[in-house]
Structure 1
Amino acid sequence: MKNYFNFFNLPKCFNIDMDLLDETYYNFQKKIHPDNFIQKSKIDQETSIKLSTYLNKAYSTLRDPFLRSIYLCKLNGIDLNTQLNPNFPNDFLEQQIKWRETLNIIKNKKDKVELKILSKKIRKISKKEMRIIENFIDKNKYNFAILNIHKLMFLKKFNIEINNAFILIES
């Protein structure tokens, strides 16, 4: 099948027309949705399911800036799965340790205010990393983008831990 950008007739770049993506998605979905093929042959039904699955995967990937950045790197020969051990700078590794220590202290204190402050800080840093990734991708520097993608992956996972801490504190 075509790559996701070609499938939606979009340029292969980070900044895409979201309105056009949405419009194209809904138009495709109307045509190929499996419910439209209930009275059709088994082959047509299976084809509809495969196309609909592909459409949904392509749409969700292009809709999410993080997933889109990973996909663009992959299309340009940089596969995140083969780059599992990023060489983070020491300052980022040290910062990870500090954040985890801070989170543990906050959880032990059950301090919602401090947890909100940490959460806000991580979201702000995540947005900054996303802008850095976007900048590298716009300049076709996929090898540089991959390190920041790994940083953002850590931040996303850490944000889940923060959200779990909110749940823990609330209970």
Structure 2
Amino acid sequence: MAQNSGTTSGTTNALKGDYFELFGLPQCFAVDVAALESAYRAVQGQVHPDRFANAGAAQRRAAMQWAAQANEAFQTLRQPLKRAVYMLGLHGVDVAAESNTAMAPAFLMQQMEWRETIDDAVSAGNPGALERLLDELRDEKRARYQKLGEWLDSKAYQPAAEAVRQLMFIERAEQEIVQRIERLEDLA
């Protein structure tokens, strides 16, 4: 977007496009992070508020909107779980994580086992057991992200949405375990 163009149509068009289009990236789950960062810097360089200090109010406002969208788009595409939710939304699939808590029975059993392991390790004051579980969860997360990418790229949106809900649980459990390890280590 050029400062002296006298129009905001380029910005308006960019604001209507999806996040992948904004950065000129293909719409696929596996994002080239270096290309994303480079495209983000280029977009931010075009719409930085300092470039529009002497522009009209409409151009300044449009530049601020574009910069805000670029920030949101970058944060969304940079984080795999947010990227997956966004991609599903582009195709009309709502993950509905708050209202759709239905999970496959095998995953529910796995959740209960993980919860029991967390509780047992905390009760025993055993950070080593928590660290082993954390490693297991991270391996599980990597495998699920791999499968999620395959589903998204092959347009299998319903299993992808279920995988997103499962990954949300795994990431919350991972954060909880890290916090509990820190607490146990602080007590030692």
Q: Same fold (TM over 0.5)?
A: yes
Does the alignment pair 1:69 with 2:109?
Answer: no
Hey, what's the Cα distance between the residues in 2 that align with 1:156 and 1:8?
Answer: 27
CA–CA distance in structure 1, aligned partners of residues 169 and 97 of structure 2: 17
The percent identity for this pair of structures is 27
Distance 2:95 2:84 in 1: 11
Tell me what 1:100 maps to.
Answer: 115
37 and 170 in structure 1: CA distance in 2 versus 1, 3 angstrom threshold: farther
Partner of 1:127: 142
2:161 to 126, 136, 146: 146
Q: Which of 38, 59, 63 in structure 2 is aligned with 1:23? A: 38
Equivalent positions of 1:36-51 (< 5 A) are: 36-51=51-66
In structure 2, what residue type is equivalent to 1:36? R
* Alpha-carbon shift at residue 40 of structure 1 (Å): 4.0
Q: What's 2:20 paired with?
A: 5
For residue 86 of structure 1, report the CA deviation from its aligned partner.
Answer: 3.9
**Residues 82 and 165 of structure 1: CA distance in aligned 2, closer, same or farther (over 3 Å):** closer
Kept after mapping to 2: 8 A contact 1:106/1:114: yes
Give, in whole Å, the separation in 2 of the partners of 1:147 and 1:90: 12
Matched residue SS, 2:28: coil
Deviations 1:135-156 (A, max 9, x none): 1112110111111111100000
After TM superposition, the score normalised by the length of structure 2 is: 0.83
TM-score by length of 1: 0.90
Question: Unaligned regions of 5+ residues in structure 2, if any?
Answer: 1-15
Q: Which has the larger radius of gyration?
A: 2
Note the residue ranges of structure 1 that are not aligned, 5 or more in a row. Answer: none
1:14 correspondence with 2:59: no
